[in-house]
Amino acid sequence: MESIQVKTASKQYPVLVGEKAIQELPELITHEFNHINKILIITDEKVAELHLQSVKQALIKAGKPVLQHIVPEGEHAKTFDVFYECQSYCLSQKLNRKSLIIALGGGAVGDLAGFVAATFMRGIPFMQVPTTLLAHDSAVGGKVAINHPLGKNMIGAFHQPEAVIYDLEFLQTLPLQELRSGFAEVIKHSLIADHDFYQWLKSNIVDLNDITDEQFMTMIKKGISIKAAIVEEDEKEMGIRAYLNFGHTLGHAVEGSMGYGNFTHGESILIGMIYALKLSIKKEGLDFNLEEFIEWVSQLGYRITIPDGLETAILLNLMKTDKKSVNEAATFVLLNQVGSPILMDIADSELIEEMIEMK
């Protein structure tokens, strides 16, 4: 079992990573949160079938009443209607400020359940229990939100969890597409923060079906540590935390245009990362072997071009409504070298030209 401490201006909390990590949950609740009167697990339909009973079984040792609320799978959970249903369930079950919400699932469930916790009675505690590789990124840092048709994660809050319990055994049930989605965020962390980690990934991860437990532990620990260091310095994205959005400006636009849930988050941001790397080479003179990168990610099964049918004008408009942008230009995270990101406003004409080349 590995423990990583996340320290922010508002809270310090542990991230426990390892096989059977879920067995640490009742002891953590008993010792640190014994005042809790009820526990609500929010999870999705697929995760409930796979893992809900084992988590509830573990929680018996905490000696608290355990409730459950099941929501739709993936991005379909991050709607106002589902959020409202969760709030109604909390009220109907008489949860209060001494209640605890557990987000059991991937990034979408974590975002939704965290936002429910952030807003119910102006904020109650919650814990993240990730079941996907993607959630190694989203479960840490306290950004919680739901989507709006005009933008991803546009309605949300900063609400840090009390703890993150990352049981590596949950990853064994992940389908390949979900592994691919999560691994894109691992690649992102390496590109913005650690050249050696990027080289390790490129040398060691050549088939997503053959990732070992040791490799999972290495990449998850490294990714969480990179994110934790950035969040500690900039909890509420007033500066460097925006670097974590490398690839997300175009990526979110692609994801939204395809329809949330129809194209995975990670596969979308991988396209966005290629786009940002091209802009970095053009604008910042980034010394980077893009052909080698594209060959590697193509072998891993990623799409490397903007999907057919997506209009350049619509993508451009969505990029300009990204949360990083503070004026009428689109703001991008670029690299002047691997491990050294910057923010830059880029003119529409250059963005359109590069999009046309990626179709």
pLDDT tens column, 75-107: 999 999 999 999 999 999 999 999 999 999 999
| Residue 265, marked binder | yes
Q: Do the annotations mark residue 109 as ligand-binding?
A: yes
Q: Is 78 annotated for ligand binding?
A: yes
Which distant-in-sequence residues (6+ apart) come within 8 Å of 51 by Cβ? Answer: 43, 104, 131, 170, 173
Rounded Cα distance between 155 and 145, Å, is 5
pLDDT, mean of residues 329-349: 94
Q: What is the pLDDT of residue 175?
A: 93
Q: What is the pLDDT of residues 133-148, one digit of tens each?
A: 999 999 999 999 999 9
Condensed to tens digits (0 to 9), the pLDDT of residues 236-282 reads: 998 999 999 999 999 999 998 998 778 899 999 999 999 999 999 99
Amino acid at 146: I
Is a pLDDT exceeding 80 seen at residue 12? yes
Assigned superfamily of 176-357: Dehydroquinate synthase-like - alpha domain (1.20.1090.10)
Please tell me whether 218 is known to bind a ligand: no
215 assigned to a ligand binding site: no
> 312 labelled as ligand-binding?
no
0.75 exceeded by pTM: yes
Q: What count of other Cβ atoms lies within 10 Å of the Cβ of residue 327? A: 8
Instruction: Tell me whether residue 107 is annotated as binding.
Output: yes
Stretch(es) of the chain classified as CATH 1.20.1090.10: 176-357
Known binder of ligand: residue 132? yes
Residue 73 annotated as binding site? yes
Is CATH 1.10.10.10 what the domain over 2-173 is classified as, yes or no? no
Answer whether residue 113 shows pLDDT above 90. yes
Write out the residue limits of the CATH 3.40.50.1970 domain(s) in the chain: 2-173
Is 227 annotated as ligand-binding?
no
pLDDT at 53: 97
Tokens of 104: 């059991």
pLDDT of residue 321: 82
Rounded to whole angstroms, how far apart are CA atoms 126 and 97? 11
Instruction: Give the closest residue to 252 by CA, choosing from 314, 179, 159, 336.
Output: 314
Q: Residue 350's pLDDT is what?
A: 94
93 is in an annotated binding site: no
Average confidence (pLDDT) over 299-305: 97
Is 193 annotated to bind a ligand? Reply is no
Query: Binding site annotation covers 116?
Result: no
Q: What is the pLDDT of residues 166-208, one digit of tens each?
A: 999 999 999 999 999 999 999 999 999 999 999 999 999 999 9
> Is residue 207 annotated as involved in ligand binding?
no
Q: Is 152 among the annotated ligand-binding positions?
A: yes
Q: Is 143 annotated as a binding residue?
A: yes
